[in-house]
Chains A and B, each alone.
Chain A
Amino acid sequence: MAFFIETMLGGLMTGMLYSLVALGFVLIFKASGVFNFAQGAMVLVAALAMARFSEWSNAALGGDSLFLANVIGIVGAGAVMFVVAWAVERFVLRKLVNQEGATLLMVTLGIAYVLEGLGQTFFGSEIYSIDVGMPKDPVIMFEGLFEGGVLINKEDFIAAALAAVLVAGLTVFFQKTAIGRALRAVADDHQAAQSVGIPLNKTWVIVWCVAGLVALVAGIIWGSKMGVQFSLVTVALRALPVVILGGLTSVPGAIVGGLIIGVGEKLSEVYLGPYVGGGIEIWFAYVMALIVLLFRPQGLFGEKIINRV
């Protein structure tokens, strides 16, 4: 039983990280109708920028203040994400208004490649570390309930809490602020939004920035856990089924979807894997997404897809 709960909690933690990346997908999709395959590349670039800027400034400061170096790192990485958002709008999206979803999807694959190439050219392509002072030591919980208790990483806890705060913040942002509402209007209807005077270009830059910041948070958490390296881009592929499951237009969907897939992946690997030779994590999420697609294409929480004639 303790093992089961441990596995499940482990799954929840991974799921939280999936949720974070999925959140980036949903934000951009809601506001620009673009499914952003480059979200993984954005996580990589953000994490690389953060790792390197803090490393450089740490060296420049003589290793005195890790905190200051990290602040500089975060600010620097934020600036990089802003430049990315601006460039994407200026050089790509602006030229593809009212194009089909498939074209936009393919264009973000191109963006992903460019970001991966540029990011590594500027910041290097080795493995770097991010140290924001997350506690690494495990804690044992529920000792009273089970023999031996349940082993959990403190780091995971903090990460999950951070993610939860971010999600809450974004929900408030979208529901309560004027900008947030404008973003939603853009999502619902580009032309209508334009005709009531919402500048499309600006909202796109903002939303890509927000997605960039989400990527930065995901990058920091993931990077401090496993190091910053190229394989970070694959988290986009891992998080893709999450949004299908949760629904592309739903922020809560991204969260719940991430948790379901995180837990499902771990449990199936542990309990089902041995029978089929293991490694089923890779496709488990996708097969779940496939089933959802066949029976409920809009996902668990998404808005129904209507094709008008």
Chain B
Amino acid sequence: MFYRENGQFKTSYAADQQIFTIAQDKWFVWGLIAFAALAVPMLADEYMFRAILIPFLVLSLAALGVNLLVGYCGQITLGAGAFMAIGAYAAYNFMVRIDGMPLVLAMLLGGVSAAAFGILFGIPSLRVRGLYLAVATLAAQFLCDWAFLRIGWFTNHSSSGSVSVAKLEMLGWVIDSPTEKYLFCLAFVIAFAFIAKNLTRAAIGRQWMAIRDMDVAAEVIGIRPMFAKLSAFAVSSFFVGVAGALWGFVHLGSWEPAAFSVDRSFQLLFMVIIGGMGSIMGSFFGAAFIVILPIFLNQFLPLLGSLVGVTVSTAGISHAELIIFGSLIIFFLIVEPHGLARLWSIAKQKLRLWPFPH
């Protein structure tokens, strides 16, 4: 009864182009942001922050980046983990090698470094697509795995191979409690989500989608495939790189190359598939789903097992996880390529008509 557009007439094209064309949507998102920024810090405990909320935020940011490339521009990538790694290690090097380097700037520069490599490994996309591109991005993955493990310079010749940042500090604010870390990540995620939204509804976003949907037609109306594809690689890798820096600096604290392995790359791709390709909201759904599912299964399966009188081993749980993930990926690709985000918007459609369905 309350969620509808009646009585909200658009009087100008500017108004019609706003992010949320229904006022309730707008309030919903602002409300959500307010809730995340004000209420969550008071409600959540340390475990929630460490195990769920911070990983969720950082992976959402990375998934957002992957979604720009895969969902909006239609270029597949199996190397997102590598770009997270580049972001993290580049930011680390900016921090340790330049005196007085501000934290946020180092992270953004990490993103810029990732963007540069994104462009480099995106070059094959000008000639090949689909599987072939997947192989090119995998090449990035394995090269990075190796480089950060074997080339001492990147880790500042750390003897253990793992690196860490001493103190997270921004303009005198020392970020050390889980709540502060959470808020720090949240600020990044909100800012980047708005940037992503803006880009996707602007000319560049239309170029990406045009290339995704019908590349020949796109070229015929004057879109340069090179610019469109490489810009998608750059922007996407920038997002992913910043997420990598957050993952290393804020979530892990100290890390090894294995933190950004090919499994991470697959995981990010799955978030996008399950959450919804070509949807900002979907990236968040996907990240939430993949962060929460294992935790849920860990609690739920042993319980279910004890009901029917079998003990569920940890191995059993991890196998169940594989089966469930795999089935969901197949399910979404076949039945609902727009993922959870589409289910969400269908629910909204229903709500718009509620309580009178006809």
Contacts and interface: CB of A to CB of B under 8 A. Distances in A.
Contact of B135 (A115, A121, A290, A309): A290
Given A286-B139, A294-B127, A113 B326 contact: yes
Interface string B116-133: 000000011001111110
A67 B212 CA distance: 55
A199 interface: no
Contact of B323 (A121, A287, A289, A290): A121
Nearest to B327: A114
B326 A114 contact: yes
Nearest to A112: B326
Given A96-B334, A287-B143, A113 B323 contact: yes
A47 B316 CA distance: 20
B325 interface: yes
B156 to A, nearest CB: 16
B256 interface: no
A72 interface: no
Contact of A293 (B76, B127, B149, B337): B127
Contacts of B76: 102, 105-106
Contacts of B135: 240-241, 244, 286, 289-290, 293
A294 B273 CA distance: 28
Nearest to A38: B326
Interface stretch (A138-146, A156-164, A276-284): A276-284
B143 A283 contact: yes
Contacts of B142: 282-283, 286
Contacts of A112: 326
Contact of A106 (B139, B319, B329): B329
Contact of B325 (A105, A113, A286, A293): A113
Contacts of A118: 319, 323
Nearest to B328: A110
B171 interface: no
Interface in A189-248: 237, 240-241, 244, 248
Interface in A250-309: 276-280, 282-283, 286-287, 289-290, 293-294, 297, 305, 307, 309
B127 A103 contact: no
A244 B74 CA distance: 21
Given A109-B266, A112-B326, A290-B136, A279 B146 contact: yes
Nearest to A25: B131
Contacts of A63: none
Nearest to B149: A279
A105 B326 contact: no
A125 B315 contact: yes
Interface string B254-283: 000000001000100110010000000000
Interface of A: 35, 91-92, 95-96, 100-103, 105-107, 109-118, 120-121, 125, 237, 240-241, 244, 248, 276-280, 282-283, 286-287, 289-290, 293-294, 297, 305, 307, 309
Which 6 pairs, one residue from A and one from B, show the smallest C-beta to C-beta distance?
A113-B326, A117-B322, A110-B329, A114-B326, A117-B323, A101-B130
25 contacts: A35-B131, A95-B334, A101-B131, A102-B130, A105-B130, A106-B329, A106-B333, A110-B327, A111-B330, A115-B326, A116-B326, A117-B319, A117-B326, A118-B319, A120-B315, A120-B319, A237-B262, A240-B138, A279-B150, A282-B142, A286-B135, A290-B124, A290-B136, A293-B124, A293-B128
